[in-house]
Amino acid sequence: MFTPNDTITANPNPVCFGVTVSLSIPSASSSTVTWTGNGITIPNGTFISNGIGGFNNVTTASPSTPGKHIYSVSITTEYGCTYSDSVNVNVDTASIVDAGPDQTICANDTIQFCAVLSGVATNLVWQKNVAFGTFIGADTDPKARFVLNANGKSQTSIKFGVMSNDPSANVCQGGVDTVEIFIDPAAVVDAGPGQRICGSVDTVALDGSYSAPTAGIVWSTTGSGSFVPNVNDTNARYVLSENDRVSDSIKIYITSVNDPAGLCGIGKDSMTLIIDSASIVDAGPDQTICANDTIQFCAVLSGVATNLVWQKMLPSVLS
């Protein structure tokens, strides 16, 4: 039979908000039990003695707010006797972090997180995930940014965990949450390294490349030259035009021919072709003269050429 010494046991107490509290009383006889208080899950019931006594009557409570809550129990035994008891349960405010909604991005995009702190949370730290990339700026920023490396770009999805601070003034621990980033594959193209040439060069060998999901490439340029054998050959040669030769530099672009499924668009890359002006001399057209005539040359300088010298054809050379 329940007696005044058989008090309610609340476990845990104090408790962090969001954690379920177990409430129990010992009883040694058949009885009817009624619980009251915020968030009681089983408010009442009839319990039959097992003939030995000492069994626990247990219920649980999920407090809906932080603060002080009072839980009471009223017991009517099979003999008509009524007893009651109550217990104070202190519910501490939690340190809560919400990592934000799951996202789908293109592999070339920068991940933009958007975490939200609440409760007694004042700061956070993101899981570093160094195998997949690097944070831009602090990994303690709720709106931190993350750039994927080659390994990260090859993943279909990556989960990032975030943890809020552990408040020292109550029993709550730091909050945790995760966000999953789904990654659409990007069209990958590479124009190769930039080059520096003399303007007298006729063609430049290109060293482009691409990888799946790219199906092929096309070359283009800010110059006015052409590509041989065609604009779709990754190892095409660029044929300089006369206008290209007098330019300081031109851009050569490589673009994927397909737009992959998902958020990623057409892939594009470029290389800079620096063109140094040539020192050019044109000796003029071939001539036919009479042996008694004086040869009149007509050379033309262009490019960065400012002067010239003619080859001296000495008699010993001519013999």
The tokens of 90 are what?
């202190």
In this predicted structure, the answer to whether residue 317 has a pLDDT above a threshold of 60 is no
Q: What is the pLDDT of residue 53?
A: 46
Q: Which residue has the higher pLDDT, 101 or 315?
A: 101
Helix (H) or strand (E) holding 152: helix 150-153
The predicted-structure confidence for 166-176, as pLDDT tens digits, reads as follows 888 889 999 99
Contacts 24+ apart (CB under 8 A), 44-52: 49/78
Average pLDDT, integer, range 281-304 = 91
The predicted-structure confidence for 204-220, as pLDDT tens digits, reads as follows 999 999 988 888 999 99
Q: How far apart are the first and last CA of the chain?
A: 139
pLDDT grade, residue 78 (50/70/90)? confident
Predicted structure pTM score:
0.68
pLDDT grade, residue 50 (50/70/90)? low
The predicted-structure confidence for 178-206, as pLDDT tens digits, reads as follows 999 999 999 989 999 999 999 889 999 99
Q: Can you list the domains of the chain with their CATH numbers?
A: 9-92 (2.60.40.10), 95-184 (2.60.40.10), 188-279 (2.60.40.10)
Please enumerate in sequence order all residues whose Cβ is within 8 A of that of 72, keeping only pairs 6 or more positions apart, or say none.
35, 36, 37, 84, 85, 86
Average pLDDT, integer, range 149-161 = 97
How long a stretch of residues is the chain?
A: 319
- C-alpha count within 13 angstroms, C-beta hemisphere, residue 39: 19
Structure letter (DSSP) for residue 187 = P
C-alpha separations of 135 from 102, 138, 175, 240, 244 in Å: 18, 7, 21, 43, 42
CA 70 to chain CA centroid, nearest Å: 47
How is the beta sheet containing 268-276 ordered, strand by strand? 195-198, 268-276, 249-256, 217-221
The predicted-structure confidence for 14-31, as pLDDT tens digits, reads as follows 999 999 999 988 765 667
Q: Which of 29-38, 110-119, 257-266 tops mean pLDDT?
A: 110-119
The predicted-structure confidence for 125-147, as pLDDT tens digits, reads as follows 999 999 999 999 999 999 999 99
